[in-house]
Structure 1
Amino acid sequence: MPTTARTQFRSGQDHCAAWITEPDPALHGEGPHPAVVLVHGFGATHGMRLAQYEQAFAAAGMVVLAFDFRHLGDSGGSPRQLVSVRRQLNDIDAALDFIREDTAVDPARVAVWGTSMGGTHVTLTAANHPELAAAVVQCPVLNSRNAAFSSGLRHVAKLAGPITSDLIRAALHLPRRYLAIADEPGREAIVTVPGARQGWLGMVSDGVAFDNRVTASVGAELLLLNAAAKASEIQIPFLVCVSDHETLMDPRIAARVARQAPRGEAIHYPADHFEVYHAPLAEGIIADQTAFLMRHLGLADQVSGQTEQIIDA
């Protein structure tokens, strides 16, 4: 059975708490193995349903690295709950450097996987890192401007005051202004579509603390961010798992990104934004992602070779 160990790596002046899950050496040998780096969604942390992906990918023969972004969860960084896409992209680069230095990893066979807002991060990372072996995104939020307006123009206007206040506070080095990540429709939060609050809280494992707030200034960054525009620059194999009943973004955007990426593929699921993490859909989605990663990380060839050896014997 794959085993998970706690570790950490440096990013900027702080550290990112990280977890490495390794394949069973009795089944997959000592390596070097291919690897996949997991990138979580907006304000989320390692304890929010990543274990099912860690275990599945490692059981297929991959080393899996998951981590908390700086300022979140068990990672360092002050102020707490600061969300900056630019800084988080730097964290992903640091994670890639860290996993490539692992002696159990083949640095030429490294993939990235992202969920929800992590889909934006992985799309931008895939466009900037043609040396990667593959990338996977599920229920991706690829145009955060579109996502922001999913709650209506009045909602966006309501957030202008907290966003401006936090930008001023940051410039003056004052205590930050926070907004809830997710709440009920009509409340003051980044995401207020129906079911969002229950969806975020439904991701939290027993015994895991979840801080449902972020620095308000991220709202300004989200209004300007459109990772979907980078689709044509992604030269690596790119799987987009599209939730056809997506609640946070128009799902046609995700489907279009898969078409525009030169080596893009799309698989569609009858899911909203949060159903992909839970039964009965999660098992099948993870199986599809595992098969895609095995194919592009060279593991399918290894499995075929092992089968041929057994037949020859």
Structure 2
Amino acid sequence: MKHAELTFVSGGVDCAAWHFTGEGDALATDAGRPVVVMAHGLAGTMDSGLQPFAEALAGAGLDVLAFDYRGFGASDGTPRQTVSMAGQLEDYRAAMSAAARLPGVDPQRLVVWGVSLAGGHAISAAAGRDDVAAVVALTPLVDGLAAGRHALATHTKAEMLRSTVAGFRSKLGKPVMMPVVARPGQLGAMTIEGSMDDYLAIAGPTWRNELDATVGMELGGHRPIKQAGDVTCPALFQVADFDRSAPPHSSMKAAFKARAEVRHYPCDHFDVYAGKRWHDAVVAHQVAFLTRVLGQA
């Protein structure tokens, strides 16, 4: 499916985006089609596994705006490869404004979609808004503190200490870069057995296996679970029950607060992407949920 390339401004930076136009008029009203705003998780870029999701939703009649955060992928901005939770949330909100201005869309029927780290951003971006018609949170990371505790099951204390020290060094002096994904025992943001192969399998041409080590400090303060109760629109939480990266129990707590519909999958964090066993089910549930709640709207 073809898509248009465009940019929007967030925090004075040009962010790159892809616009997929929805097919048919099954979900269209006189005001236009609903539009999904979509972004990736930790260090992810829109060319790294998002397109199959976007195409499926566009095929169901929704416009989709997928984008890269500032400093990542095709977007401008410096420093590069540095995660700022506040900056990424600002980018989400700017993308929502840009999506509302797209031709043929209904600005009062925004859908906020996020996977992994962005699943938490989607919750925060939708909280307290009356122009958001639905939220889709796929394997969401909603509580950084809980994720840190969860990581103790798959990482040694020495590994976690090494990452923490690198983060402090980067915060206090010259930036310290580390891999996004690495083999178990190596320095990296994600070193769970199999995660490197899984991430590289979806990595697109703009993706870089490099990240500022301050990411651990940013994750510690990432707690969109606190805002889940302020999401007033229908929400779908898709939880990987054997997720070694985003704690499933935290996702369930956030889903309860958001009064969300929940789907469970007997898989790990990366098993929801195209080419993996559970991708088709995940996409089918998203399409069914959005078709139902937006059709009712």
2:135 counterpart of 1:138: no
SS in 2 for 1:210: coil
Distance 1:279 1:188, change over 3 A: closer
What is the match of residue 11 of structure 1?
A: 10
2:257 counterpart of 1:260: yes
Conserved in 2, the CA contact under 8 Å of 1:130 and 1:234? no
Distance 1:254 1:17, change over 3 A: same
Shift of 1:146: 2.4
2:162 counterpart of 1:165: no
SS in 1 for 2:179: strand
What is the match of residue 281 of structure 1?
A: 278
Shifted more, 179-188 versus 146-155: the winner is: 146-155
Q: Measure, in 2, the Cα distance between the counterparts of 1:122 and 1:27.
A: 25
Aligned pairs, number: 291
Conserved in 2, the CA contact under 8 Å of 1:17 and 1:67? yes
SS in 1 for 2:249: helix
Q: Measure, in 1, the Cα distance between the counterparts of 2:208 and 2:222.
A: 24
Conserved in 1, the CA contact under 8 Å of 2:122 and 2:137? yes
Matched AA of 1:224 = G
2:44 counterpart of 1:44: yes
Matched AA of 2:237 = V
Conserved in 2, the CA contact under 8 Å of 1:110 and 1:297? no
**TM-score computed with the length of structure 1 as normaliser:** 0.87
Conserved in 2, the CA contact under 8 Å of 1:148 and 1:191? no
Q: Measure, in 1, the Cα distance between the counterparts of 2:158 and 2:197.
A: 22
Shifted more, 137-146 versus 66-75: the winner is: 137-146
Structure-to-structure mapping, 1:77-156, within 5 angstroms: 77-149=77-149, 150=151, 151-156=155-160
Q: Measure, in 1, the Cα distance between the counterparts of 2:3 and 2:40.
A: 17
Matched AA of 1:80 = R
Matched AA of 1:293 = L
Structure-to-structure mapping, 1:48-67, within 5 angstroms: 48-67=48-67
SS in 2 for 1:147: helix
Distance 1:128 1:221, change over 3 A: farther
**TM-score computed with the length of structure 2 as normaliser:** 0.91
What is the match of residue 178 of structure 2?
A: 179
Matched AA of 2:37 = V
Q: Measure, in 2, the Cα distance between the counterparts of 1:76 and 1:129.
A: 28
What is the match of residue 307 of structure 1?
A: none
Structure-to-structure mapping, 1:170-249, within 5 angstroms: 174=174, 176-205=175-204, 208-249=205-246
Distance 1:212 1:60, change over 3 A: same
Higher radius of gyration, 1 or 2: 1
Shift of 1:16: 0.5
SS in 2 for 1:3: coil
Matched AA of 1:229 = K
Conserved in 2, the CA contact under 8 Å of 1:3 and 1:23? no
Shift of 1:115: 0.5
Q: Any gaps of 5 or more consecutive residues in structure 2? A: none
Shift of 1:128: 4.0
Deviations 1:200-248 (A, max 9, x none): 112124xx24211111112112122222232222222111001011111
Deviations 1:258-308 (A, max 9, x none): 12213x11110111101111333111110100111122223x68xxxxxxx
Flag as ranges the 4+ runs of structure 1 deviating above 6 A.
Answer: 26-31
Shift of 1:129: 2.6
Shifted more, 268-277 versus 243-252: the winner is: 243-252
Q: Measure, in 1, the Cα distance between the counterparts of 2:280 and 2:182.
A: 28
Shift of 1:39: 1.7
Conserved in 2, the CA contact under 8 Å of 1:33 and 1:104? yes
Q: Measure, in 2, the Cα distance between the counterparts of 1:124 and 1:75.
A: 22
Q: Measure, in 2, the Cα distance between the counterparts of 1:26 and 1:260.
A: 33
Conserved in 1, the CA contact under 8 Å of 2:23 and 2:62? no
Percent identical among aligned pairs is 31
SS in 1 for 2:8: strand
What is the match of residue 310 of structure 1?
A: none
SS in 2 for 1:239: strand
